[in-house]
Amino acid sequence: MLILRKMARRANSRGRGRPEASWLAALTALGVLGVSLCGQAQKPASAADRHVVVISIDGMRASTYVALSPPARIPNLLRLKEEGSFAEGVEGVYPTVTYPSHTTIVTGRMPAEHGIYTNLSSRQPGKNRNEWFWLADSIKVPALWDEARQHHLTSGAVSWPVTVHAAIDWNVPEVWDPAKGPSADFFYLAKFMDPLVGAELLGALGPPQSGADTDAQKARLAVYLIKTHKPNLLLVHLDAVDEAEHKHGPQTAEAASALERVDVRIGEILAAIKEAGLGDSTDVFVVSDHGFLPVERQIRPNVLLAKAGLLTADDRGEVTGGKVATVSNGGSFFIYWPEATDLRGEVVTALRPLLDQGLVWGVLDQPALRDLGAEPTAQMALEAAEGTAFASSARGELVGRLETPGGTHGYLPFRQGLEASFIAWGPDVKAGVDLHRIPMTRIGPTVLQALGIEASTFGDQPPLAEIFK
């Protein structure tokens, strides 16, 4: 066994539970009114005339723009890199999944401090297994939008994770019906938006088109907010690359094609900045949450835990209860049990077949997880071996080969291929600065500096001051 050791605001509940038809009627009726009312939410005259746009390309490895891997036509990304500053790699958080990573980007702190530990919010077996950390009030420390509001600057967000009910002026959060899974359901999403913002967007842009490129729709929203409201801070989350890499694997033709489409979206946002007259006052940051590794096999640790009587499951293999709880993060597998109950021996015994067969890259105990700034209540984590990923099912074979190779993340952030991305570009940014490798916690403080905000208590790392003119 390899033990690795040193490694907001919630708004009121208006609109919840109302039938979709009533939302449609209300939003349609408010369409014109919403444009005028939301247009009144201008920043005070005393606010700094500085702007920052942060574009997250979910799943984009730093090698994409450093070594052009996979080969792709990405003129906008390469222009930003060549004319600005960049990192050859960003070391992220553990696990390297979307929600903890994006929250570290906007808080400058590790998951153990900001409270968004994995994508899934529930640790109770059999309960709310599809609930994610959607609500911004789950974040335990100030985020960029909180600092912006405190300093009388405006903010906007398009599909940024963990922003439901956040203190963001024009907010289109990422959230979906857990019973249906991720989908572009505007009328479900509208329940978690400011009604006037939802009405304005519906009146100005119309409802999202079914089956359309979701990143194209997100870029359209971002372009509208830039041209109409000119927020000082705008956060945009694009996820087509992540989707392609999950399905086909990294460094594939499909991943390259998705990246090329995202590059077009970046071009649209850059054009909007120029058309809005903000070219001389806007710095742009292109970031990502994690890299990717290829996967051919799937491992189900819950099968062993169920056989040992530590978990119970239904006929479909879904966990319904037990002495322990687990969360599968693709490349890692977190295990929980009450502090007052020492189940380590039983758990290790149950998982012995995984260890004996060399199906895990490593096992992290609680001190190692704390050293990594990961979830403090997790008792143990399994790290997947090369070419393998963990699944949550408690039924079936312990190890199964995927029908077609794919990709995933969630592994330790320092494993090769998991490097996230960072590019900074704009009138305040120096050209040609290679930052080499940086921690993800330095991104948020750097964005604050670009906004002209000095917050010595924000984050746990200093900003990347060397990139600024």
**What local confidence, expressed as pLDDT, does residue 131 receive?**
86
Last residue of a domain, one of 408, 439, 455: 408
Amino acid 127: pLDDT:
59
Looking at the domain assignment, is residue 114 inside a domain? yes
Q: How confident is the model at residue 218 (pLDDT cuts 50, 70, 90)?
A: very high
pLDDT tier for residue 42 given thresholds of 50, 70 and 90: very low
Q: What is the mean pLDDT of residues 347-370?
A: 95
For strands 85-86 and 155-158, give the pairing: unpaired
* Domain-embedded: residue 2: no
pLDDT at position 40 over 70: no
Last residue of a domain, one of 408, 435, 452: 408
Q: Give yes or no: residues 324 and 204 share one domain.
A: no
Does residue 20 form part of some domain? Answer: no
pLDDT band for 183, please (50, 70, 90 cuts).
confident
- Considering the domain architecture, whether residues 116 and 246 belong to the same structural domain is answered as yes
Residues 400 and 362 in one domain: yes
Predicted local confidence at residue 126, as pLDDT: 59
Whether residue 274 sits in one domain with residue 125: yes
Residue 303 belongs to domain spanning: 294-408
Name the least confident of 9-23, 198-212, 347-361: 9-23
Q: Is residue 18 part of a domain?
A: no
What is the rounded average pLDDT of the residues 71-94? 96
CATH (domain of 394): 3.30.1360
Report yes or no on 186 lying in a domain.
yes
Residue 33 pLDDT exceeds 80: no
Does 249 lie in the same domain as 351? no
Number of structural domains found in the chain: 2
Q: Look at strands 387-390 and 380-384 and give their pairing.
A: unpaired
Q: What is the mean pLDDT of residues 193-214?
A: 88
Same domain, 323 and 445: no
Terminus-to-terminus CA distance in the chain, angstroms? 50
Assess if residue 135 is contained within a domain: yes
pTM: predicted TM-score of the whole model, two decimal places: 0.90
Residues 143 and 186 in one domain: yes
% residues pLDDT > 70 (the chain): 88
Residue 6, pLDDT above cutoff 80: no
Q: Hey, which residues does 91 pair with through a beta bridge?
A: 439
Neighbours of 230 (CB within 10 A): 20
Rounded mean pLDDT, 163-187: 89
Q: How confident is the model at residue 129 (pLDDT cuts 50, 70, 90)?
A: low
Q: pLDDT at position 84, please?
A: 98
Is residue 223 included in any domain, yes or no? yes
CA-closest candidate to residue 366, choices 385, 349, 342, 384? 342
Cβ-contact 445, 286 below 8 angstroms: no
**Of 365, 385, 408, the domain-final residue:** 408
pLDDT exceeds 90 at position 93:
yes
Q: Are residues 198 and 340 in the same domain?
A: no
Mean pLDDT score of the chain: 89
* Residue 281 sits in the same domain as residue 396: no
Residues 303 and 343 in one domain: yes
Instruction: Kindly state whether residues 68 and 102 are assigned to the same domain.
Output: yes
413: in domain: no
Residue 95 has pLDDT above 90, yes or no: yes
Q: What is the pLDDT of residues 289-334, one digit of tens each?
A: 999 999 999 999 999 999 999 999 999 999 999 999 999 999 999 9
- Looking up residue 247, the CATH number of its domain turns out to be 3.40.720.10
Residues 350 and 302 in one domain: yes
